[in-house]
């Protein structure tokens, strides 16, 4: 298995436990000669603003903070190095952690970024931080956002595909990327692949304006189209027919509901970038789906995606 060879792990210095590191170790133990790099970004505005210190003194203070954090990363890495894993450490001083992480990715050609998410105490779900959202929007490589627990064998992976856009080459290619990624991960961790899609209800404006419009015929045809498209994808990627999930409704509701029903440990979906005002945004559907999930998430970008973050 040669899926992930160069893994970047985003370390959260505010957390005692580091689920992202544990997940990276689980993956690296199943890979051949995989390398893990621990990434930590630190910044303290007071060091930048103090007027009583010279530039050299401020740099010295920054260097001290960086050194202390690097030593802490080394203590995190030590037990896994003793197990034979190759683990490097890097600490950056930057006021925008997501930007520093993406610039590191662009420099070092990592093939997977892993970051922990935070449990939301009130909703018992996942709370995505501003850094998470910026990484989801702008990270050019697969981004795995993880919870605390490990992936058990024979767990379920849910792939969210967009059947209505089968004629759209970009969406079709992204569907294929999602399913191909799921096959590779399932082979690595002995998991079962499920695929889900949502189809819409008949449009009310057409029903009201065109008396001859037959909503039952329309809905039946739409369902058959989505069912056939899902079956074609399932056949191509050797997914059991019983693991196909097609429901009428909003994608954000259907995907999160199916993920809950099958107790998915991982949801894989695509995030299609849209450019505007110099930003790259997630599609509205993807944002709403992500916000409702309570499991690990692997977000993939379409082929040819270029991050708006550039090397300095």
Look up the pTM and report it: 0.88
How far, in whole angstroms, is CA 9 from its chain's centroid?
13
Q: Where are the domains of the chain?
A: 1-147, 151-312
Q: Which has the minimum average pLDDT: 127-131, 195-199, 214-218, 291-295? A: 214-218
Is residue 210 scored above 90 in pLDDT? no
Domain 1-147, CATH number (from 3.40.640.10, 3.50.50.60, 3.10.620.30, 3.40.50.12370): 3.40.50.12370
Token pair recorded at residue 270 = 């695509």
pLDDT score recorded for residue 160: 93
Q: At 52, is the pLDDT very low, low, confident or very high (cuts 50, 70, 90)? A: low
Is residue 308 scored above 50 in pLDDT? yes
Of 244 and 1, the one with more pLDDT: 244
Reported as a single tens digit per residue, the pLDDT across 92-105 is 999 899 999 999 99
For the segment 106-117, the average pLDDT, to the nearest whole number, is 94
Reported as a single tens digit per residue, the pLDDT across 147-195 is 867 788 889 999 999 886 556 787 888 999 999 999 999 998 889 999 9
Token pair recorded at residue 102 = 């993406």
Closest CA relative to residue 195, chosen from 253, 151, 238, 152: 238
Within 13 Å and on the Cβ side, how many CA atoms surround 141?
Answer: 23
**DSSP letter at 149?**
S
Q: At 2, is the pLDDT very low, low, confident or very high (cuts 50, 70, 90)? A: low
Given a contact cutoff of 8 angstroms between Cβ atoms, the answer to whether 47 and 64 are in contact is no
pLDDT score recorded for residue 165: 58
Task: Please report where in the chains the tokens 């993920």 appear, as a residue.
Answer: 259
Do 1-147 and 151-312 agree at the fold level? Answer: yes
Is residue 275 scored above 50 in pLDDT? no
The residues facing 160 across adjacent strands are 196
Tell me the C-alpha distance between 90 and 76, whole Å: 12
CATH architecture of 151-312: 3-Layer(aba) Sandwich (3.40)
Task: Please give the backbone phi and psi of residue 299, each rounded to the nearest 5 degrees, phi first.
Answer: -105, 130
């Amino acid at each position: 298995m040669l899926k992930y060879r160069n893994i970047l792990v985003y370390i959260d210095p505010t957390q005692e436990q580091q689920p992202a590191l544990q997940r990276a170790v689980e993956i690296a133990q199943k890979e051949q000669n995989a390398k893990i790099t621990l990434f930590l970004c630190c910044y303290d505005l007071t060091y930048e603003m103090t007027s009583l210190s010279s530039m050299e003194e401020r740099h010295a203070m920054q260097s001290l903070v960086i050194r202390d954090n690097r030593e802490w990363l080394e203590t995190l890495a030590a037990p896994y190095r003793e197990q034979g894993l190759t683990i490097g450490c890097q600490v950056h001083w930057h006021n925008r952690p997501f930007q520093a992480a993406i610039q590191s990715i662009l420099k070092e050609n990592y093939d997977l970024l892993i970051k922990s998410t935070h449990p939301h105490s009130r909703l018992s779900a996942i709370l995505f931080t501003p850094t998470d959202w910026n990484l989801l929007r702008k990270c050019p490589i697969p981004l795995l956002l993880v919870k605390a627990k490990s992936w058990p064998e024979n767990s379920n992976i849910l792939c969210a595909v967009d059947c209505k856009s089968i004629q759209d080459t970009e969406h079709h290619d992204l569907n294929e990327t999602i399913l191909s990624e799921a096959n590779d991960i399932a082979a690595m961790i002995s998991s079962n692949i499920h695929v889900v899609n949502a189809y819409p209800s008949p449009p009310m404006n057409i029903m009201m304006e065109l008396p001859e419009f037959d909503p039952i015929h329309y809905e039946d045809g739409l369902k058959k189209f989505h069912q056939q498209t899902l079956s074609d994808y399932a056949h191509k990627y050797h997914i059991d027919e019983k693991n196909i999930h097609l429901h009428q409704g909003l994608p954000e509701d259907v995907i999160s509901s199916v993920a809950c029903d099958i107790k998915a440990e991982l949801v894989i979906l695509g995030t299609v970038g849209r450019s505007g005002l110099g930003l790259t945004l997630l599609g509205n559907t993807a944002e709403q789906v992500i916000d409702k999930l309570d499991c690990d998430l692997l977000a993939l970008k379409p082929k040819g995606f270029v991050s708006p973050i550039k090397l300095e």
